[in-house]
Structure 1
């Protein structure tokens, strides 16, 4: 297998080689290269100390206790190259961070502390002689005429088998860092892999430990899971591992809540429907995907089954909104994320009817926000597909067409092509409520298509108003 490295990566390897240090590319970059994926996220490990690293790459930045020096990445400015000293870790008092970092002497020590076998590989330039510090059990594979793969935990085999497997004892790995459980699920979803049986059982056993982790970090992993190419499969792992019950118990309660009843298109229970809706959501926006996942989360609380077998969920969107607010606060959403999240959940039931007036459609736009309308439509389509319905309907297509037309009309007085200053200038008025009244009258005439929204037409109408008042 031929491996081609970016110039900046090869330069780092060459610099450390010439300085007499061991240097290896490690982590996800090795995994991605073996899978034929393009990566711009490069990590290195070396036997050089942080101080020695800075002598080799003087432009680096070192300001942490983990032995990592950051250097600019010309191919991805927001993902600097990370060069870390070999290290081992001792003690984990908060199920996340080691209590003690020890600079290592051997590459094997560094690789053995990593989370999963697919991330515990390294490759080195063959110009560097194989270090005596690498265990005799370490398997090597020539990748090209220039590089050698170092794979002590058979990560390449797990890539071929499409398995996420913990390095060593999975129970120990997750007690060291409980966030690794979410990482296992997320990486499996990103790569389309399964989780190895013993590793998965350890996640199920230790799932409650995820509550020890900062909510910001949990949200970060959850967002990556939802944004992955396989969010449906990932959410099944998320649920079956017990992590859903710990992180999103409101979503767990949706499973088993029936929806199928006379006159309704739904064929799945609420929980399955929500996962299916996420599967079909075409938006690339993670907040929209998350809103799609939980838009009906209030249905268990509003479930009613009538004597004729009809199932109702009256006002479930209101209850769902309150639950969404709680989830957003619990997971530490930013204000911008929360605002959009709440809007999408609150208004996902917007009416689509051939008898809607332009005013009704403008009201939908005001409630949802023009900037959110495409994502709201993506949620609506996903909602339909996730319930067993067709992707669209003639009513929905007509609604989309009318949205385009209505957007050509002003939404508020401020969208008129004239303003209060224009009115005061033409009528020689002073500021006051009379100016606002004139603008309101003009706005209504534009909305009702009595006049066009262009400056000359509106000025002409203002002059007519002046004549009528004389």
Structure 2
């Protein structure tokens, strides 16, 4: 069942929309006053969009649309629309859909609305279409005007593309053939110009592209690789607060941006090796800039920044060799609500590094490590809350001065519960008396 239907009429679009809204007790939203375009939102989030013909006839309207597969119509009075007996298809969209071809309706299709470039790529990814050469030329022409499009419209189409499970070939085409990422990603060119240390055989940008590719493969294989795989995918499919984008879409965006701070932190050591200390923090201004370009919502922006900032933490935990309950708790406390996402991003990051350098044998222990952390998080840490044997007021009564120290002691008490030192009110009081100077 479609979630949106486009209805086009020769006249009276606003009157028709109002009648439908009244009949279904719905609300009418004016989308474009000049073109008399309106939306009625029905139950189950079904959108009905009403607009006037672009041109004087329906055929002219269909020829003025973006792609032939989007330029077919059925009359409302058709008794059996599923039989397609009444299909109006002047541009040959049905045949193109049958043969899996993406074809623009006219030579000005991308110039009239450059957002159609991204829509075309998204449609090709979603329906496994081949872009015919002539349309490829038009896509490249439209790319040059994409900067004139509102950021929120770009993000709307881009997020739909990223929501596809096998979008990598199209994400890569956006870079290689259309140079779209040069326009969208702050720091894109410098990433390509920055070589890395001996751990990497690719420049920063190509490593990020490979990370994206590895992330998609990991996600596709997750249900078979991990018993908890479906639970992880379900969590990633949850919408971010206050919007219709889910965690997975922003996670994929972050994979393309996670090392954007490396050019600013690159230092060549006397040995010739290059270090990038602090590159996670250095990447935050670029993530902020991308969020501004795409007009991300506040939850989307915060989530993107969180992923860029903490993408190295799982690997640091691995190399530290302290995998105790306390160390693991501290890791998940840092990763927070994006723990699963950051574990997968870290695995994709290292997978990209090791596959590029043909060092796959080194990947097995890290994959097992990440899978084990996922199991621990789902089984123990995701919903765990420390028992508050003592409140802040209780600590003050015990002689601790009101202020930041109270919060620090409460957090230490939570850690003591993880290690098993604090088990009840008595052991909590004893721990405070032993470890806190009043």
| TM > 0.5 fold call | yes
- Distance between the aligned counterparts of 1:450 and 1:120, measured in 2? 65
* Offset of residue 199 of structure 1: 2.0
Please name the residue that 1:123 is paired with: 74
* Offset of residue 162 of structure 1: 2.4
- Distance between the aligned counterparts of 1:304 and 1:87, measured in 2? 57
Q: How does 1:20-59 map to 2 (within 5 A)?
A: 38-50=1-13, 52-54=15-17, 57=20, 58-59=22-23
Describe the shift of the 1:450–1:365 C-alpha distance in structure 2 as closer, same or farther (beyond 3 A).
Answer: closer
Provide structure 1 residue ranges, at least 5 long, that are not aligned to the other structure.
1-37, 89-103, 129-141
Q: Which has the higher helix share?
A: 2
Q: Is the 8 A contact 1:174 1:181 kept in 2?
A: yes
Please name the residue that 1:443 is paired with: 413
Please name the residue that 1:335 is paired with: 298
Say which of 86, 109, 113 aligns to 1:148.
86
- TM-score, structure 2 normalization: 0.73
- Distance between the aligned counterparts of 1:340 and 1:179, measured in 2? 25
Please name the residue that 1:378 is paired with: 344
What secondary structure, in the 3-state scheme, does the structure 2 residue paired with 1:417 have?
A: coil
* Offset of residue 204 of structure 1: 2.0
Q: Is the 8 A contact 2:14 2:37 kept in 1?
A: no
* Offset of residue 241 of structure 1: 0.9
Please name the residue that 2:222 is paired with: none
Is 1:110 aligned with 2:61?
yes
Residue correspondences, number:
386
Please name the residue that 2:210 is paired with: 276
Describe the shift of the 1:249–1:154 C-alpha distance in structure 2 as closer, same or farther (beyond 3 A).
Answer: farther
What secondary structure, in the 3-state scheme, does the structure 2 residue paired with 1:42 have?
A: strand
What do residues 441-462 of structure 1 show as CA deviations (whole Å, max 9, x unaligned)? 9828825846334346546x49
* Offset of residue 431 of structure 1: 9.0
* Offset of residue 122 of structure 1: 1.1
What secondary structure, in the 3-state scheme, does the structure 1 residue paired with 2:86 have?
A: strand
Query: Which structure: larger Rg?
Result: 1
Say which of 116, 120, 124 aligns to 1:184.
120
Please name the residue that 1:238 is paired with: 174
Say which of 181, 185, 188 aligns to 1:251.
188
Say which of 312, 331, 338 aligns to 1:349.
312
Is 1:368 aligned with 2:338?
no
- Distance between the aligned counterparts of 1:275 and 1:438, measured in 2? 41
What do residues 110-162 of structure 1 show as CA deviations (whole Å, max 9, x unaligned)? 2122111110111236758xxxxxxxxxxxxx976574222111112222332
Describe the shift of the 1:376–1:465 C-alpha distance in structure 2 as closer, same or farther (beyond 3 A).
Answer: closer
Q: Is the 8 A contact 1:192 1:230 kept in 2?
A: no
What secondary structure, in the 3-state scheme, does the structure 2 residue paired with 1:70 have?
A: strand
* Offset of residue 219 of structure 1: 2.5
Describe the shift of the 1:437–1:238 C-alpha distance in structure 2 as closer, same or farther (beyond 3 A).
Answer: closer
* Offset of residue 80 of structure 1: 2.0
Please name the residue that 2:153 is paired with: 217
What do residues 223-265 of structure 1 show as CA deviations (whole Å, max 9, x unaligned)? 222222332122122112122222225234434655473xx3x
- TM-score, structure 1 normalization: 0.69
Please name the residue that 2:250 is paired with: 287
Provide structure 2 residue ranges, at least 5 long, that are not aligned to the other structure.
220-235, 238-246
* Offset of residue 430 of structure 1: 9.0
* Offset of residue 197 of structure 1: 1.5
Say which of 320, 324, 331 aligns to 2:283.
320
Q: Is the 8 A contact 1:232 1:276 kept in 2?
A: no
* Offset of residue 465 of structure 1: 5.8
